[in-house]
Amino acid sequence: MPIVEHSTTVGGPIEDVFDLSQSYALRLEWDPFVRSQRPLGGAGEAGKGVHTETISRHRLRMVTEYLTFRRPTLVGMKMIEGPPIFENFSGSWRFAERDDGRVDVAFRYNFRCRPKFLAPVMERIGIWYLGRDIERRIESFRAACDETDLLARVRHERAEREVAPADRVPVPPIVDAAWLAERLADRLVDANTSGGHLAICDVRSTMSGAHPEADYLAKHLPDAVLVMLDDVLAAPPASIAGRHPLPDPTDFARSLGALGIGDDDLVVAYDDRGGAFASRLVWMLRTIGRRAALLDGGIDAWNGDIATGPTTPRPPTVTSPVDWPADAVADADRVVAHVEAGGVVVDSRDAARYAGEVEPIDAVAGHVPGAINLPFTHNLGPDGTFRPVSELDGRFAAAGVDGDAIVYCGSGVTACHNALAIEHAGLGRPTVYVGSWSGWSSDPDRPVATGPS
């Protein structure tokens, strides 16, 4: 997939630079590409972000979806509607403040053209055109950052901006212990109440059938509720559907309600395996538009109070069922079509299982033909926490991975770790093939590939 990127450095502070780049009104004054721009909504839809309609100076229309919004360092976008030559189009704006107060700004686009037989030519043209467009944008943006009038208006807009209600504040997919501690200290989030407050979830598991309750009782975060992978986050195993199919939406909502987790609650989930299991809950909730984040490093990274024994249950609540969005989950047929169209499919298991050298769980060893191998464990550094965003971005970009990719693993659990890492890197939210290898390999009509990536 072609990638076009450029960067520049401008004066700070980073809040002014960020807001200048994203203001609908002010962007019309400095961006040479934009003729008009307006928000279309979409934030209330399950699994969706804010939709924005942009009309270019050449009167080309594009509707983009902001899949990631980490203020004031990152904005990620993905095309929903646009010129027919693009099969897909995504990009990001990154902002990093230097020690001297100046701000590094990086623009990046990823795209794929159609029809397939013309794509190589169209993509070469696209690289040239978009490269020229980014260079012009950078020049204009750099000049705008020096205009005192524009910056004064940026600060005025920010001063007048109302503080968003708690249930509207975007939540990053991965948070650290300091982020959680800050919210635990905030009286707006009382872990012992429900209805728009904080719910901490312990999602430790062994995937071997052993009950994790003993580990939970021995040590857990204060007020954390135990969430069982097999009981809450999956339906019973089935051929084709795999070892951990998604639960029926009504069953999932009923399970959350029994745990005292409501529609508006902010969920922070952790485990003791670098997020291998907790990422499944976080991905499921984010997919249906709920606020959820993975605690980076899990229980081992938490340096606050630790509880033992049972926790006073949260009061049960009624949680609304939400259907799994069709664009968030894939079945085997969609995986095949994606590979045939030149899309990227990621196998999240370790290299030996991918190559078919070993298979400790499923009856058949190997991988989906056309899939590449990016083990989820490589998202983590030696200390068990996620690698810096720049490293994750480089890892996935080098493999052509963005929000259009499909990810899978053994049974649709650790694939969610890769899905969150891709979103955390600002590349959009990929689709998960929940049936994964356990579903694929149970179908005798599906081909099997072996060998290294």
10 Å Cβ neighbour count for 442? 19
Q: In this structure, is the dihedral angle defined by the CA atoms of residues 81, 347, 412 and 285, taken in order, positive or negative?
A: negative
Distances (CA, A) of 254 to 133, 153, 231, 258: 50, 48, 11, 6
Q: What are phi and psi of 294, to 5 degrees?
A: -95, 130
409 is catalytic: yes
Per the residue annotation, which of 113, 145, 201, 409 is the catalytic one? 409
Catalytic positions: 409
